[in-house]
Amino acid sequence: MKLAFFNEFRLGVIRDGQIVDATDSFEGREFRRPQDMMEELIIGWEQLKSKIESAIHNKDGLSLESVRLRAPVPRPGKLICAAVNYLEFGMREPAILDAFLKAPNAVIGTGDTCELPPAPATVFHHEPELALVIGKTATKVSQEDAMSHIFGYCNFLDMSARGLPGAVGNSFFLGKCWDTFAPMGPALVTADEIPDPQDLQIRLWNNGEARHDFPTSDMAHKIPELISEFSKITTLEPGDVIATGVNHQQIGAVQDGDLIRMEIKELGPSLIIRISDPSHREWPRGIDKEMAERMLGRPNRV
């Protein structure tokens, strides 16, 4: 099932190019935050799934173009991003497993604007990734049991600022945690619809120009290992998000006015954002070949 929030964070199901309102599944209950609704949906999925199916049965939908789609997990309790987790089309050795936390309030949805901060970065990059959403509490789980803890998958963009002065070693906070730097969605696709998340193709376009086009099979540390290892460090809760990393070989700069579109075909509608830079800075367009070369064997860094 392709779940989504739309308009004033009503719950919907995307099917046949439309979104069908399923908010009535909660029988008039009110939630303090949209995140609370999503977490209750995830926790109670086995009971709520049939209610959602009944709520949308024979119900007319709205065209996706007529609604404002929102981030499906608008304020995750934890947003964990795997770092340097691709083999760069098999051209580098696996890096040591590493990750960082991204600020939950960096999350925005499709159609929203990512605003580049005035910080003196040398460049800002797009990083399209497959994200997974945790479905049940995971503490020190084995790799063999890890996949059973996934509720679903969604598109994710790890927007990044490079080369900030004062950054020492892995200064992920300075480069990754800015407001609007975690676009997500629009659909949260339940795990039963994705039989093999290591067999997906991630694509991205900047102003219609093709940039990223890489398979999730190129991950150095596969999804079961990510869940298992992260759950040894911190307990994963329903609604937590893990972004699984990017292949850097087709990475490029973003700047004011750019329209970014990311697609994983199996995850439904594209994730589309606009870039705003009040400082109107410019960088060379196209693929950042210097960054691509540096990623072929350098130590873990932002």
- All structural domains of the chain with their residue ranges: 2-66, 79-294
**The one-letter amino acid at 43:** I
Q: How far apart are CA 178 and CA 105, in angstroms?
A: 9
Q: Decide: helix, strand or coil at residue 119.
A: coil
pLDDT at 165: 80
Contacts of 47 (CB under 8 A, 6+ apart): none
> Hey, which residues does 259 pair with through a beta bridge?
274
The whole-angstrom distance between residue 176's C-alpha and the CA centroid of its chain comes to 13
Domain range 79-294, its CATH number among 3.90.850.10, 3.40.950.10, 2.40.440.10, 1.20.950.20: 3.90.850.10
- How confident is the model at residue 233, as a pLDDT? 98
Query: Can you give the pTM of this predicted structure?
Result: 0.95
Task: Give the pLDDT of residue 243.
Answer: 99
pLDDT at 29: 83
Q: Six-digit token pair at 172?
A: 């992920």
Per-residue model confidence as pLDDT tens digits over 19-47: 999 999 988 788 999 999 999 999 999 99
Look at residue 27 in the predicted model and tell me its pLDDT: 80
Compute the half-sphere exposure of residue 171: CA atoms within 13 Å on the CB side of its CA.
13
Angle, helices 34-43 vs 45-56, to 10°: value is 110
* Percentage of the chain lying above the pLDDT 70 cut: 96
Listed as ranges, residues in the chain with pLDDT below 50 are 299
Residue located via tokens 């159609």: 111
What is the model's pLDDT at position 11? Answer: 97
